[in-house]
Chain A
Amino acid sequence: MREGASPRGTASAPMPSRADLREREVKLEAIKSSLGRLAHDFNSGLVPILGYLSMIRSDLGTETSVEEYLEAMERSARNNVQMAELILLATRPQRKFSATTFDLEQQIGETVTEFLATQPGIAMALELNPATIKSDKSQWKQLVTELLKNACEASPEGVELRIRLRIRPTVAGEAGELGMPETPNILELTVSDQGTGIPNEAEQSRIFEPFYTTRQAQLHKGLGLTVVHGIVRLNRGQVVASNNELKGFRMNILLPFELLKAN
């Protein structure tokens, strides 16, 4: 028996309830699944590097295609670095946080324009109000891009996405409920799509977990909303996801405006 442990049958600490245990198991399973996915994706990036290395080794001295193999190795390694950067941005956004004062309305407008250049078939309805904040400009660009990507993937073709930026008074008790510092005003960014939404509440609560995706599993999928969550929490805000009343899904980013101005 472990030192200090109670003999069987003598209660020294309350046993966790069945519901607590079940919740713990579900969480552990989710984490294990995420880590497994991570290991798989890292391995997948390393396999071509190892493979081309062994081909270079066996080719040396004969006719070689070294240049071609090196290029493929570099592509694969860069892909892995890109994934590691995305994971680090999701889990430790403070690592690269560099605050400047900028016009968020303009930044969102520019990000949307850039995004539309890569996704020409998408229509967007913008309702942006002025908001000057002090934060990391490039992280905001990434945040908005990830929200747009997520909304686009959920929406059928030819449907309009809605993006709204506004500053509104905080409702009494709202900041506390959201786990945010008290603030007279909230900066609210909403991105709304016209897809099928996520009817299952259990699924809805998991969408910010790393590597969790409700869509077809692909390399580097399931990190976008974790990145969004990481950046929002670093700015001491909260992100709330919900189904729209009629159709589609809505991401609400809520931030303590006064703190964001003074960062």
Chain B
Amino acid sequence: MKQRIFVIDDEVPICELLTKFFSKRGYEVSTAHSAEAARVQLADQSFDLTILDVLLPDTDGLVFLESIKRMHPNMPIVIMTGIGFDEELLQESIQKGASGYISKTLPLDQLLMEVHRILKPVR
């Protein structure tokens, strides 16, 4: 069975890119463009990993991270940011339960490595 990745990002082109990228690499991908839309999917579906943008239109990504952790305590969450690397943000993400942290502008292969580090690929 395919591993399921959930991408939460308000920017549609980025969701499309990640969907194409991970689908081609054997994952099943779902997306949501706001915390509210994500909450609906998280209420009745389970995912193997979530990639969460820190800047969401309707809430702070890190606040939402805590909320997701309450709903799915064991699901790993990778924080993604388009505003560059920030030590403070990294520490806060880890403290709130994030399993990884990646900058949007890094090559996709690094995101894939991060996903592989957290989710052992299914053979």
Contacts and interface: CB of A to CB of B under 8 A. Distances in A.
B31 to A, nearest CB: 14
A192 B65 CA distance: 41
Contacts of A50: 105, 107-108
A43 interface: yes
Interface residues of A, number: 26
Interface string B7-18: 000110110111
A51 interface: yes
Contacts of B83: 36, 39-40, 43
Contacts of A219: 11
Contacts of B10: 218
Nearest to B55: A40
B13 A72 contact: yes
Contact of A47 (B55, B58, B82, B109): B82
Given A36-B83, A39-B83, A44-B11, A51 B57 contact: no
B58 A72 contact: no
A61 to B, nearest CB: 15
Contacts of A51: 17-18, 21, 108
A200 interface: no
A163 to B, nearest CB: 30
A interface, over-half SS: helix
A76 B109 contact: no
B72 interface: no
Interface string A173-189: 00000000000000000
Contacts of B16: 48, 72
A48 B16 CA distance: 9
B20 interface: yes
A183 B109 CA distance: 63
A79 B12 CA distance: 12
Q: How large is the interface on B (under 10, 10 to 19, 20 to 34, 35 or more residues)?
A: 20 to 34
B104 interface: yes
Interface string A35-54: 01001100111111011101
A126 interface: no
B83 to A, nearest CB: 5
Contact of A54 (B13, B57, B108): B108
Interface string A49-65: 01110110010000001
A46 B21 CA distance: 16
**Could you say which of B11, B13, B57, B104 has the most chain A C-beta atoms within 10 Å of its C-beta?**
B13
A43 B84 CA distance: 9
Contact of B17 (A40, A47, A79, A217): A47
Interface in B60-74: none
A48 B108 CA distance: 10
A44 B104 contact: yes
B44 to A, nearest CB: 25
8 contacts: A39-B83, A44-B13, A47-B17, A51-B18, A51-B108, A55-B21, A58-B109, A72-B13
Given A51-B108, A55-B24, A216-B57, 10 more contacts: A44-B11, A47-B82, A48-B13, A48-B16, A48-B17, A54-B109, A65-B20, A68-B20, A218-B10, A218-B57
Interface of B: 10-11, 13-14, 16-18, 20-21, 24, 55, 57-58, 82-83, 104-105, 107-109
Interface of A: 36, 39-40, 43-48, 50-52, 54-55, 58, 65, 68-69, 72, 75-76, 79, 216-219
